[in-house]
Amino acid sequence: MSSPERPAQTPPPAPPADDLGFDLPQPAAMTRTRGLAIGVGLAVALGAAFAAAYLPRRSARAALEESVRAAEGAAPRVVVVSPQPVSSDRALVLPGSIQPLEETVVYPRVSGYVRKWSVDIGDKVEEGQILAEIDTPELDQELAQARAQLVQANAGLVQAQANRDLSRSSVQRYEQLVPAGVAPQEELEQRQGQAHVAEASVTVARAAITAQQANIQRILDLKKFAKIAAPFAGTVTSRTIDRGALVTAGNGTPLFRIAATDPVRVFVGVPQDVAPSVRVDAPAKVTVREFAGQPFQGTIARTAGALDAATRTMNTEVRVPNPDGRLLAGMYAEVALTLPTPHRVLEIPATALYNDAKGLRVAVVDPGSKIRFAPITVERDTGATIHVSTGLDGSERIVKLASAELTDGMAVEVLK
């Protein structure tokens, strides 16, 4: 059986030829060729970018490493400053208490009843001004009795003088009778003794009169205290009596309290470290919070001259004029004192200070450009600067910026 006849296959068309007679590549071949070209281009571009980015960085890093290696072998560079002398005056603010210049409590000197009082708290009084009057009935009776006793004493003196005169006359008669033998000698002696007694009686009578006169004067002096007078000019700060009140001399009951408040005294405790610098007549500035910090100018009036054993401070009195009475006794105040420091003070930057286990120090560059550390004593820290009291003489070159890398004996390069 014969096989079915297969249809005739048409050969594929021949690839087109260009005008020069060359065969053109097929589309698939063209795609592969184009992709290869793009890949090669990208590789070249990436390589160029890598070379442009990496190679300079590598070169810079190598240069940096080279400079670091060079720096590690070089001396550290430092900036130095010289200590500068500062004013030796030290401003010190201390708490203080305002007290009156004088203050006293007025007590009764005589017993009696208050007839009237003339002043009250807050009143200004002058020295000797009458504050109150006291009725003294018992004292009045004592005065009347003393005057009566004086009259009696005067009468006793007259009687004693009469007896004395009589005794004298009797002695004179017997002095004439005894020589004539009319009277015995014993009688004359008796009359003479009586005359001596009469003379002594006159002396006693005179002394009694003097005593009564002194008693009367004492009572009259006490009567003067029935009028209570101000001992000095000031302000009445307390009144504890009313009309009709019974007051007794010596029982400790006060009548008035008076304070002199112009000027006032402000007491402050000056610490031990600055107490030797306090000088009498030096200026002081007093401020009170209630007056919004308004300063009141005063002067140092006196010092205790010794430290209090409990507080180690020296009590100091500042006097402040107070003509308008604005400063009240008992107020709390702040006293600003400007005190000279007894030693030289140098100022350095706060950044130069080392504060570690070895204490407070600064790094000093010696003439050989080597570091040495100098211990110092800080007088005051202002924040930006340090005031140094000991450890420096002012000729040193101080490293301005403290660094932990600096060690004792290290060579450094000083930047100009």
How does pLDDT run across 318-370, given as a tens digit for each residue?
999 999 989 999 999 999 998 877 678 899 999 999 999 989 999 999 999 99
What span, in angstroms and rounded, lies between the C-alpha atoms of 51 and 63? Answer: 18
Whole-model pTM: value is 0.57
Write down the pLDDT at residue 252.
77
- pLDDT of 370 reads 92
Instruction: Give the sheet arrangement for strand 385-390, strand by strand.
Output: 84-85, 346-349, 385-390, 377-381
The residue-averaged pLDDT of 41-63 equals 56
What mean pLDDT is predicted for residues 143-161?
A: 91
Percent of the chain exceeding pLDDT 70 equals 82
Please say if the pLDDT value at position 23 is more than 70: no
Length of the chain, in residues: 416
At residue 34, the pLDDT reads: 53
**pLDDT of res. 195:** 85
155 Cβ contact list (under 8 Å, min separation 6): none
CA distance 59 to 275: 69
Q: What is the pLDDT of residue 38?
A: 60
Whether the Cβ atoms of residue 135 and residue 223 lie closer than 8 Å to each other: no
**Per-residue pLDDT for 49 more than 70?**
no
- Residue 44: pLDDT above 90? no
Rg (CA), the chain: 58
**Lowest-confidence region among 61-70, 287-296, 308-317:** 61-70
Q: Quick count: other Cβ atoms within 10 Å of Cβ 35?
A: 10
Q: Report pLDDT digits (tens) over 357-373.
A: 989 999 999 999 999 99
Quick check: 241 pLDDT over 60? yes
188/172 Cα distance (integer angstroms)? 9
Query: Which segment of 34-43, 156-165, 239-248, 295-304 scores lowest on mean pLDDT?
Result: 34-43
One-character DSSP codes across 145-195: HHHHHHHHHHHHHHHHHHHHHHHHHHHHHHHHHHHHTSS-HHHHHHHHHHH
Do β-strands 385-390 and 227-229 pair in parallel, antiparallel, or remain unpaired?
Answer: unpaired
Residue 157 has pLDDT above 80, yes or no: yes
For residue 189, name the pLDDT band (cuts at 50, 70, 90). confident
pLDDT in tens, 94-119: 999 999 999 999 999 999 999 999 99
Quote the pLDDT of residue 343: 72
Instruction: Kindly state the average pLDDT of the residues 82-89.
Output: 82
Give the CB-side neighbour count of residue 362, counting CA atoms within 13 A: 32
> Higher-confidence residue: 1 or 242?
242
d(CA 347, CA 55): 53
